[in-house]
Amino acid sequence: MRRVGFIGLGNMGGPMCGHLVAAGYDVTAFDVNPDAVSRLVDAGARAARSVADCAAGVEALITMLPAPPQVEAVWLGDGGAVAALEPGSVAIDMSTSSTAVGARVVAAASERGVDVLDAPVAGQSIGAKAGTLAIYVGGDEAVFERVRPLLEVMGDPARIFHLGPNGAGYTVKLLLNLTWFIQAVATGEVLTMGVRAGVPLDKLHGALVGSPANSNFLERDVRMVLDDGDYDEAFPMRLVTKDLGLAVDLAREVGVPVELTALVEQIHRRARTLYGDDAGEISAVRLYEDLSGVTLRLGET
């Protein structure tokens, strides 16, 4: 499998596509932003004129798109990818999307003899640039094994998981994002409360990291805020609230009551309202800083 199409060349997709080019794959690239396409052409990709052009003649087509409406439009809309793919090719959506849209893509693709995988990723833009993403795959295991070499170029081979049938990748990605966003709210509450109570931030943070309550967010991710005041604008709040909305929708579909999830979604929507659509994904911590009058910065007195 050498001929690959890639659609969606933003903060995540651009570096991911670049790794495939650097690994020697024959890559055709498309994005609505011509500058993003130009950067990949400079790296060695061929520019596609449209979605259908990007899908024509490839053995695998990868998409990395902002939300379910874009996923559905690219795969199933007028001039969409499914209609342009050849039988025997593989459609791989690496976006964080919904199982409902994914099911419609699978149904349309199966009529053309095209295999489908959902393969969303985790690891932020830094992982996309480093080629160390975790990848969560749903779909036929034999198809997964066919495309594993492609995935290993973009992700950490030890963190590429085949999770079950189509939809399993989307589900796990929504759940891990939900857990992360819950931890962002919890960390914002705990740190501001502790500092307001008089505990120095460095001692409070160190004690929590060394405790049974430690988490990857508490130990590593929140350090962007604590060290540099960086709320990570590479993943904006409009996508945070999109993912949380999808998690609430999933809970409704499977009949699970999720009071905590609903509250966490509303807290992030409040942060988005205050700081804007493009505010960084850790803006929930900023919300608690502002509500409590505390600035969480290590090294500041």
Q: Which of 129, 173, 203, 242 is catalytic?
A: 173
**Known catalytic residue: 173?**
yes
Angstrom distances, CA of residue 167 to CA of 59, 98, 138, 190, 213: 22, 8, 5, 35, 31
Strands 133-138 and 155-164: parallel
Catalytic annotation, residues: 173
